[in-house]
Homo-oligomer: A and B are copies of this chain.
Amino acid sequence: MYVHLPKITIMKFLLPLLLLFSFTNTKAQADSTFIRNIYNQALENGEAYENLRSLCKDIGARVTGSAEAEMAVKWGEKLLKSYHFDKVYLQEIQVPHWERGTTEAAWIENEKGDILKLNILALGGSVGTNGLISGELIEVKNVEALKLLSTDKIKDKIVFLSEAFNQKHINTFQAYGGCYPLRGNGANEASKLGAKAIVIRSLATPNDNYPHTGSTHFDDNVTKIPAAAMSTQNADEVSKWLKQGKVTLKMEMDCKTFPDVTSYNVIAEITGKDNKIITIGGHLDSWDVGEGAHDDGAGIVHSIEALRILKTLNYKPNHTIRCVLFMNEENGNLGGKSYAKLAKEANEEHVCAIESDRGGFLPIGFDVVENKNYLEIVLKHKELLADYDLLKFKNGYGGVDIGPLKEYYPDMMQLGMAINSQAYFNYHHSAADVFETVNKRELELGAAAMATMVYLMDESLK
């Protein structure tokens, strides 16, 4: 069908389309060039790796409330100031203060008098043993199975929760999630049944001799009992001994909880053209063993480096880009909770938050917290992102630190950087989590991925 239209009418239809097409094209090209510049900056002039070396080696482990955690606050503030961002400031918060103490030892004994020394770490929040304690060891697979037992089976015994990671999961965070109750709730449930103490198989992927700590929780009305994790190799061995007869566990730990102390979230900003805020961050505290390299030194230097790169490239954001080094993710999340509450009290407008807390390994994409059409918005850029091997974009989890913002800003976008998870639980919360296990380029690619996503969302979100 041919319809004659006067020229003016053709122009009326075509011109906006042509303009739109040329604008879209130019915008895509500008995005592509800018993202290439982000990656060049990260890979050729990157500072993430040396910053991580400094955090790991000049300070090291930095559990909330410790002197090292306060050093980390000073470290972060000084580093952020050195980059001359528009604002750098501390946000005061109250945090718990738990310490491991100086004594931590355990062994098992069978009826023949054979002994086996165990490699243990007290769980964060555990009480000490007040000298050497001793009790018959009762193996229970997990918290579900424990809840089915009666008090007479458990009273005055020491419970051993022994469930191993399910290796069939492709993403190791799913295996971690499956075993999480052992550590998070095992001591609480064992105490309700009168147990004297609890030991768990470490929440870890490999078969090796590192124990992995992490926080354990007690309900308000439950008596706190000593709780520790043993290495996966020890756990296998203990199970073998238990199959052969009665086993006694002896344990001494002098960990304890001190009064709350004042600490800080460390914050830097590049001021935007409007009053809206995009938050990026990871957590500055770590556990008190190893160097907190992957958990979450990597997230800290990813976030700082993303902001540094955007500033270096002279990017003028639409929204304020705020980098937050959260305190106390590991045992209380008071950094994340306080940040959200203070944001709301200050009537801030938050449109997006992006967290990196899954290690310094190869970034593979982003999880988008299911909300509105946010996954669609991210997927609009999938061709650009595929050039950098960022290929996985799904509805999923954001992060612990940014999570509390959702309560006050239910409409905001939240993203969690998706990172190759295969080796994460070899290191997580253990003495093995050190700088040497981080690959320089993988860390740099993580920083570039974060800067890229900040840029794209700053341009996409109104």
State the A residues within 8 Å of B (CB).
39-40, 43-44, 167-168, 170-172, 205-206, 362, 364, 387-389, 391-392, 420, 422-423, 426, 439-442, 445
Contacts and interface: CB of A to CB of B under 8 A. Distances in A.
Contacts of A439: 422-423, 426
Contacts of A423: 439, 441-442
Given A43-B167, A422-B445, A391 B388 contact: no
Contact of A168 (B40, B168, B420): B40
Contacts of A168: 39-40, 43-44
The A contact surface, by secondary structure, is loop
A325 B440 CA distance: 33
State the oligomeric state as a number of copies.
Answer: 2
A248 to B, nearest CB: 33
17 contacts: A43-B167, A43-B168, A44-B167, A170-B387, A170-B388, A170-B445, A172-B441, A206-B440, A362-B362, A364-B389, A364-B391, A391-B391, A391-B392, A422-B441, A423-B439, A423-B441, A423-B442
A170 B172 CA distance: 25
A389 B363 CA distance: 12
Nearest to A364: B389
Contacts of A40: 168
A392 B389 contact: yes
A136 B422 CA distance: 49
Contacts of A44: 167-168
B362 A420 contact: yes
